[in-house]
Structure 1
Amino acid sequence: MSFRDHFSAVASHYAAARPEYPDALFEALAEAAPRGARVWEPGCGSGQATRGLAARFAHVHATDPSAQQIARHWARQGAGNVTLAVEPGERTALADGAVGLVAVAQALHWFDLDAFIAECARVLAPGGVLAAWGYADFVAPQGMEDAVAVFRADIEPDWPPERALVDAHYAGFAWPFAALPAPTLEMSADWPLERLLGYLSSMSAVARHRERTGCGAVAAHADALAAAWGDPHTTRTIRWPLFLHLRRKSG
């Protein structure tokens, strides 16, 4: 099955630069999902969410259609309750009713939604939970608003159309199963300037911008971002509002 591959070209940046999800997110999943659940994590990337899932659930089957992402997954260093596979989000080798939780981190907008929902219905056991979450753009630290806005304007034409689904927090999706209450969450990280620039380099729009123009957007704006940041070794708090959808399959 073909897939819209926006991240293989930046897989190394993605693995090194993406922020960690908060413990509160995984605690919410552990409260919603059946105790001792096995998990399918489609669109796992390089494992930003897998670590938190593996710490709370019996087993995680983490899949991604990008072999480059799976090659950089943290579990390749050894995680006894994680299996990895190069599989699309619309199809997995898991058996019918095999999992109690399907957990999709910042990836649902890349899937063929109808095919994915049908696969969720197949692999989720009765009473199992579909959890899908994501985050839009970060909140610019104080004093950096103008420099960040100019950078964003430069790459705006290069975002894939699916980005709008993230900005809308998946509003209007034809969700299956019954809705469960979900907490309001936030992701944050205390980074030096170099780490922020690495994060910006991991964006799919930055890769597409280079393909379109031949220019590196991060390098082009690095001086302005650095001037707004101040001492590059000083850490500043970067924040991303998180959204979470929880749906339970009927028993």
Structure 2
Amino acid sequence: MKDLFSGHAADYALYRPDYPEALYQWVFRHVRQFDAAWDCGTGNGQVASVLARHFTAVEATDLSQAQINEAVALPNVHYRAVPAETTPFEENTFDLITVGQALHWFDFARFNQEVKRVAKKGAIIAVWGYELLNISSEIDAVILDFYRHTIGDYWDPERHHIENEYAEIPFPYRNTEKSVFPQTYEWTLAQLCHYLNTWSSVRKFEKANGYNPIESLYDRLHDVWGDSPSRPVTFPVFAQLGEV
């Protein structure tokens, strides 16, 4: 698993979107027991914090200790900086395993093997991610051009799994289901640019070229933003789950 987010963990915690309640309710409807959950690739603990309201105990892991340092401490959540593919957990431990916007970084075969080792029989695994946001046709076109042409060469190859909504990632589980959950925010242009600045490709571009491309992107977006101080920004969250 790659660690691309330690260098801007605080911004990641502040500006990355969270996930809609409808997604969690969809997942929880499939869960048989609520004793123990594992949130893998937890980042700043965004998903783990939600799971903590429903499960007796939550284990939350991430490769990045810097990300974990930004997480909110909760009495029933235990954070560990360990790889997704190798954990210290006992066999047959978890009722639910979740992966939010991180599965594409994993070694798929080894991770799936680990899931089958630590999951209880009949446990649920749920994975999800989100692709490019939607605002308006004019704004979306500017962001897509930036995404493809300005920073396109700086995306890691794993990014294509997000673009095709995990269609090529092995998911060897039973009774699988898929769904999409839109998540909408009211954001200012500054908030949008703060989010775009968390992209790993932006940081790689900046390191390679000595300047941040978001600065010129802000000017381009300002020209098409319009008079509204804020706009609805929608992330389509694609999700799938299955039974281990």
Give the C-alpha shift of residue 56 in structure 1: 2.4
Equivalent residue for 1:29?
27
2:68 pairs, out of 64, 67, 70, with: 70
In 2, distance between residues paired with 1:145 and 1:167?
15
Task: Give the secondary-structure state (helix, strand or coil) at the position aligned to 1:49.
Answer: helix
Equivalent residue for 1:133?
128
Residue correspondence of structure 1 range 168-247 to structure 2 within 5 A: 168-231=164-227, 234-247=229-242
TM-aligned CA distance change 1:184 to 1:4, over 3 Å? closer
Task: Give the secondary-structure state (helix, strand or coil) at the position aligned to 1:126.
Answer: strand
TM-aligned CA distance change 1:192 to 1:130, over 3 Å? same
Q: Identity over aligned residues, as a percent?
A: 31
Q: Deviations over 1:65-90 (max 9, x none)?
A: 101101111x23xx122111111111
Q: Are 2:66 and 1:101 equivalent residues in the alignment?
A: no
TM-aligned CA distance change 1:142 to 1:174, over 3 Å? closer
1:38 pairs, out of 31, 36, 39, with: 36
Task: Give the secondary-structure state (helix, strand or coil) at the position aligned to 2:46.
Answer: coil
Task: Give the secondary-structure state (helix, strand or coil) at the position aligned to 1:68.
Answer: helix
Moved more, 118-127 or 56-65: 56-65
Give the length in aligned residue pairs: 243
Q: Contact between 2:161 and 2:169, CA under 8 Å: does it hold in 1?
A: no
Letter in 1 for 2:181: L
Q: Deviations over 1:98-119 (max 9, x none)?
A: 1011100000010111110111
Letter in 2 for 1:60: V
In 2, distance between residues paired with 1:173 and 1:227?
39
Task: Give the secondary-structure state (helix, strand or coil) at the position aligned to 2:111.
Answer: helix
Letter in 1 for 2:118: V
Letter in 2 for 1:57: F
Moved more, 238-247 or 220-229: 220-229
Task: Give the secondary-structure state (helix, strand or coil) at the position aligned to 2:45.
Answer: coil
TM-aligned CA distance change 1:149 to 1:83, over 3 Å? same
Q: Contact between 1:140 and 1:148, CA under 8 Å: does it hold in 2?
A: no
Unaligned stretches of 5+ residues in structure 1: none
Stretches of 4+ moved more than 4 A in 1? none
Q: Contact between 1:178 and 1:248, CA under 8 Å: does it hold in 2?
A: yes
Give the C-alpha shift of residue 58 in structure 1: 2.3
Q: Contact between 2:179 and 2:240, CA under 8 Å: does it hold in 1?
A: no
Equivalent residue for 1:59?
57
Q: Deviations over 1:6-57 (max 9, x none)?
A: 1111212111101120000110111111232411111111122222222222
In 2, distance between residues paired with 1:147 and 1:134?
22
Equivalent residue for 1:111?
106
In 2, distance between residues paired with 1:110 and 1:188?
25
Q: TM-score, normalised by structure 2?
A: 0.94
Q: Contact between 1:64 and 1:88, CA under 8 Å: does it hold in 2?
A: yes
Q: TM-score, normalised by structure 1?
A: 0.91
- RMSD over aligned Cα atoms: 1.6
